[in-house]
Amino acid sequence: MKIKVDKEKCIGCGACEAICPEIFKMEDGKAKVIGKESKCTKEAADSCPVQAIEVKYR
């Protein structure tokens, strides 16, 4: 699983971290990817209000 946060798009709402703290961590007002794979990743990506999270499966 490849997870990416587009820092240009991210508005720092913190939703991804709240839903999936093992993958996303807020840092300097933006979300940072800190994990590799988790069941909650997709849900967090879907919950991002600005679609800043890109998830690729392989």
**Of 57, 54, 37, 46, nearest in space to 15 by CA:** 46
* Identified binder of ligand SF4 from the candidate list 3, 20, 23, 48, rule CB under 6 A: 48
- Secondary structure class of 57 (helix, strand, coil): coil
Residue 46: helix, strand or coil by DSSP?
helix
Q: 31 with 12: CB under 8 angstroms?
A: yes
* Interaction between residue 55 and ligand SF4 (CB under 6 A): no
Build a one-symbol-per-residue string for 1-40: x at contacts with ligand SF4 by CB under 6 A, - elsewhere.
Answer: ----x----xxxxxxx--------------x---------
**Interface residue list for ligand SF4 (CB under 6 A):** 5, 10-16, 31, 48-50, 52-53
